[in-house]
Structure 1
Amino acid sequence: MSNLLVGLQLYTVRDQTAQDFKGTVRRVAEMGYDGVEFAGYGNLAADELADLLKETGLQAFGTHVSLAAMESDLEREIEYCLAIGCPNLVVPHVQPDLLSGERLHTLTELLNTFGRRVRERGLTFAFHNHASEFAQEDGKYALDIMLENTDPANLKLELDSYWAAYAGVDPIAYLGKHTGRVALVHLKDMTPERTFTEVGDGTLDIAGIIKAAQAAGARWFLVENDAPTIPSLESARRSLENLRKF
């Protein structure tokens, strides 16, 4: 794992960042993570967050920004990313009712437009999947329709390994079919009961996912646990320690 850039999606420790954003980020750095992915900025101004990243030595791998926030003021979101040195602006979620019929076509056009604007500013625009994007539409996954109908330069994929597997899709095989479109990967693991667990403690082939993601061109790997059953910071630490064993 020495050549792997591993960050933490801070959604994992949201209970802690809600109490002490800066202190939690510092603790993540102390664990040995290379970077973080944001799910909100703790109400910090961009220069303040940039200073925190510089202090901790953490890289900003990416940030999750809602589609509604982008529709409201995409330029503001781009400027914030540029100010903190964050290379990847990611749509984290869309409502399932947008993933079929004419709404899917409209969403795809919007993502392509946003992606062009983001790319023109020197950043990468990506889409993060849940299980709903693997619903079938005209015999294809909705996610594949999105990828096929957007410029590869305008829209990359942040594959979430857990949600792909949850939808019955082999994340390794899926990564293999999308070489060149994968910018980031969420490393998440699954219990036999199909719930969340620490990376390396579950049933998914994490080493295989990493290998396939690297072959597909992914540069950034994010640990995430949507609902830790142990203290969230301990969950983040355990996942990183398990990854080091690989």
Structure 2
Amino acid sequence: MKQANIAAQLYTLRDYLKTPEDIESTLRRVKAIGYDAVQVSGMGPIDPEKLKQLADEIGLTICATHISYDRLTKDLPAVIREHQLWNCKYVGLGAMPPEYRSDEAGYVRLASEFSAIGAELAKHGLQFVYHNHKFEYTKFGERTGMDVLLEESASPDFGFELDMYWVQAGGANPVEWVNKVKGRMQVIHLKDMEIVEDQQVFAEVGRGNLNWSAIIEACRSTGVEWYVVEQDQCRRDPFESLTISYNYLKQLI
């Protein structure tokens, strides 16, 4: 992991990304924390060319995105053009639509459909990545939903963007899963899990109970390129949360 490869997932700051003016101000604050890269998600309307201009002017790489299911299935040529404009290789699906989640057949169907989408993206130098939550660790017989996605999808066209908090919340081992997707994951999501009043809560990296030294070592050994800090909910100012996580990760470089 290099300092330049620590990125901020903009979904963390979604309340500060409503207008183009908000977006510019927020990107400047992210850069001031020390981040050199961002993942685009949770952002209000902005012209793709304007976003590219702002990122270049401020000095931020757009390393990955989360794109809606509808756009990936119905508007793929435009998605491809935007990512090429941004010099952004990694095209992410942030969550599986609910209609796929109820049985193993749904996971098989998503693995097949997005392997085909991933193959089309690959023709243009792009990589599809799937971001998990905990529901993918539901068991269907002997396999979890994540097992199904891994085994039934086409490698390397169907890539992964594991979220360490959600792997842990699903009852799985984060380090084990980093190793399971070796060769198929170049982007990872980092957030910690803390126990507060007997409840699991989102926490800044290093403030919870995940084994970060082991996780980062597994990422290094499996070729992870981008280390993306995300916090779905913050119990303090989200810019402060991103700062805490960034400063902790710098110690692990």
Q: CA distance change for structure 1 residues 3 and 33 in 2, over 3 Å: closer, same or farther?
A: closer
Q: Which moved more, 1:145-154 or 1:93-102?
A: 93-102
**1:56-205 matches, cutoff 5 A:** 56-99=58-101, 100-192=103-195, 193-205=199-211
Q: Distance between the aligned counterparts of 2:223 and 2:69, measured in 1?
A: 25
Q: What do the CA deviations read for 1:127-152 (whole angstroms, capped 9, x no partner)?
A: 00000111112311212211212221
Shift of the alpha carbon at 1:36?
0.3
Residue 205 of structure 2 aligns to a residue whose secondary structure is coil
Q: Distance between the aligned counterparts of 1:188 and 1:143, measured in 2?
A: 19
Cα RMSD after superposing both structures? 1.5
Shift of the alpha carbon at 1:96?
4.3
Q: Distance between the aligned counterparts of 2:204 and 2:156, measured in 1?
A: 33
Q: CA distance change for structure 1 residues 223 and 233 in 2, over 3 Å: closer, same or farther?
A: same
2:237 counterpart residue number: 231
2:8 counterpart residue number: 8
Q: What do the CA deviations read for 1:44-92 (whole angstroms, capped 9, x no partner)?
A: 2121111111111111110001112211211111111111111100000
Match for 2:11: what amino acid?
Y
2:246 counterpart residue number: 240
Q: Distance between the aligned counterparts of 1:15 and 1:133, measured in 2?
A: 27
Aligned 8 A contact 2:17 2:43 in 1:
no
Q: What do the CA deviations read for 1:203-226 (whole angstroms, capped 9, x no partner)?
A: 111221111122122111100110
Structure 2: 5+ residue runs without aligned partners? none
TM-score by length of 1: 0.95
Correspondence for 1:211 among 214, 217, 231: 217
Q: Distance between the aligned counterparts of 1:177 and 1:112, measured in 2?
A: 18
Shift of the alpha carbon at 1:102?
2.6
Structure 1: 5+ residue runs without aligned partners? none
Match for 1:217: what amino acid?
G
Shift of the alpha carbon at 1:3?
5.5
Residue 194 of structure 1 aligns to a residue whose secondary structure is strand
Aligned 8 A contact 1:96 1:132 in 2:
no
Aligned 8 A contact 1:191 1:203 in 2:
yes
Match for 2:57: what amino acid?
E
Q: Distance between the aligned counterparts of 1:153 and 1:45, measured in 2?
A: 31
Q: Which runs of 4+ in 1 moved over 6 A?
A: none
TM-score by length of 2: 0.92
Aligned 8 A contact 1:37 1:222 in 2:
yes
Q: Distance between the aligned counterparts of 2:43 and 2:79, measured in 1?
A: 11
Aligned 8 A contact 2:104 2:145 in 1:
no
Residue 8 of structure 1 aligns to a residue whose secondary structure is strand
The number of equivalent residue pairs is 246
Q: Distance between the aligned counterparts of 2:54 and 2:233, measured in 1?
A: 26
